[in-house]
Chain A
Amino acid sequence: AQTVTQSQPEMSVQEAETVTLSCTYDTSESDYYLFWYKQPPSRQMILVIRQEAYKQQNATENRFSVNFQKAAKSFSLKISDSQLGDAAMYFCAYSITSGNTPLVFGKGTRLSVIA
């Protein structure tokens, strides 16, 4: 069964600095999707970024970028120029590409941003 592991329950970063959140996953599939979701204090889950495994280029979305290491099954999220609004729970998630398969989520990393 596929699993997603986020080894950092909590992280903190100074405002304007850069922080990297770690995620590893276990799968025997060759093609799949990886996601990072953000859950701010409002509890609304928001998609941050998505990576398709067959694409070698790392996805970027403004200040958010990923470091996708397929062989190592690693998918870290880098937040540059951190802002107070980035404070949230961040969840890494995995999905195979075929069929209507639900996402598998990690347990989350709580990010605090220090002014």
Chain B
Amino acid sequence: SQTIHQWPATLVQPVGSPLSLECTVEGTSNPNLYWYRQAAGRGLQLLFYSVGIGQISSEVPQNLSASRPQDRQFILSSKKLLLSDSGFYLCAWSVGHSGNTIYFGEGSWLTVV
């Protein structure tokens, strides 16, 4: 069966520091991968999605970036965090034959102080 792991679960970082959130999927190949952000009490905002290695689509221009160095690995990064980057970050995956159903990781809480 397929599983998705996301880490770290909780992160407190000072303004201006770098960020790296990692996500890996097991049990499937060539998944579509996604990063969503959920600000406190609000809906889901799609940040990035990837349909293959090295293929990243950005939905919202900001100081975040994403990379997919391996088929089942998706990394969310920032060189310098802003206070507004605080939120709950969710990694997710899907495969085409699943009818576009996406499955989410456990999420990562980021607090920028």
Contacts and interface: CB of A to CB of B under 8 A. Distances in A.
Interface of A: 33, 35, 43-47, 50, 52, 91, 95-97, 100-103, 105-108
Interface residues of B, number: 23
A35 B101 contact: yes
Top 10 A-B residue pairs of the complex, sorted by shortest distance between their CB atoms: A45-B104, A107-B43, A95-B100, A100-B51, A105-B44, A100-B32, A43-B107, A102-B49, A108-B43, A33-B100
B90 A45 contact: yes
Contacts of B96: 100
Contacts of A103: 100, 102
Contacts of B92: 45
Contacts, number: 48
B37 to A, nearest CB: 12
B90 A50 contact: no
Contacts of B27: none
A105 B102 contact: no
B5 to A, nearest CB: 13
Contacts of A102: 32, 34, 46, 49, 59, 102
B26 interface: no
A94 B88 CA distance: 21
Contact of B103 (A47, A91, A97, A106): A47
A109 to B, nearest CB: 10
B61 interface: no
Given A43-B88, A45-B90, A33 B99 contact: yes
